[in-house]
C-alpha cells in the first residue's frame, strides 16, 4: 500500500518567501505501489536539504483558493521525481502519476487531486529534468 514513511519537515529558505528546504536530518520518504508494480525501486527519498517550492499553484484567487496549499508532501515528492538525477529516475508521465497516487493515499478528494494532476500534466513539462537533486532554488 502506498504511503509516506516519514513526515514532512521544512523551513522557509532564508531570504525567500517561496522556497522551502527539507530539514537536513529528516528526508521525506514515500513508498509507491505504482513503482513497485512497474518493477522499480518503490521508495522515493527526497533528501534533507532538498529545495522545493511545494505545489506551484498559480496565485489566481479562484484557482489558489481551491487547490493552493492542499498537497505539500505530495508536491515535494513530485519536485524530487522531476530531478534529472532522482532515484529511481522517472519519466514525466510516471512522475505525474506518482503525484496522483500520493494524493490518493493521503485521502485527497477527487475534486482536489484530479485538477492538480491535470495541471502538472499540462503545465510542468518545461521543468522536467531541468535541475539536479542538490541544486538550490
pLDDT score at 123: 85
Relative to beta strand 43-46, strand 10-12 is unpaired
pLDDT score at 78: 96
CA-nearest of 76, 88, 95 to 137 is 76
pLDDT score at 64: 43
What DSSP line would sit under 50-73, residue for residue? -EE--------HHHHHHHTTS-HH
pLDDT score at 115: 86
Measured distance CA(103)–CA(85) in Å, rounded: 23
Grid cell of 133 as nine digits: 537533486
What is the three-class DSSP state of 25?
coil
**Counts for the chain of helices (H) and strands (E), in that order:** 5, 6
What's the DSSP call for residue 83? S
Q: What is the pLDDT of residues 15-41, one digit of tens each?
A: 988 899 999 999 999 999 999 999 999
Q: What is the pLDDT of residues 57-116, one digit of tens each?
A: 444 454 444 555 668 999 999 999 999 999 999 999 999 999 999 999 999 999 988 988
**Domain segments of the chain: what residues?**
3-127
Contact predicate 102/77, CB 8 Å? yes
pLDDT score at 71: 85
CA dihedral sign, ordered 107, 112, 114, 118: negative
- pLDDT of residue 7 exceeding 70, the answer is yes
Amino acid at each position: 500500500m502506498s504511503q509516506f514513511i516519514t513526515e514532512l519537515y521544512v523551513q522557509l529558505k532564508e531570504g525567500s518567501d517561496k522556497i522551502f528546504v527539507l530539514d537536513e536530518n529528516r528526508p521525506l520518504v514515500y513508498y509507491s505501489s505504482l513503482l513497485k508494480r512497474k518493477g522499480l525501486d518503490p521508495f522515493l527519498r527526497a533528501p534533507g536539504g532538498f529545495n522545493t517550492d511545494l505545489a506551484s499553484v498559480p496565485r489566481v484567487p479562484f484557482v489558489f483558493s481551491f487547490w493552493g496549499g492542499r498537497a505539500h508532501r505530495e508536491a515535494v515528492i513530485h519536485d524530487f521525481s522531476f530531478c534529472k538525477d532522482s532515484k529511481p529516475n522517472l519519466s514525466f508521465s510516471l512522475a505525474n502519476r506518482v503525484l496522483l497516487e500520493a494524493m490518493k493515499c493521503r485521502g485527497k478528494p477527487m475534486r482536489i487531486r484530479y485538477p492538480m494532476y491535470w495541471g502538472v500534466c499540462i503545465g510542468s513539462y518545461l521543468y522536467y529534468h531541468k535541475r539536479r537533486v542538490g541544486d538550490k532554488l
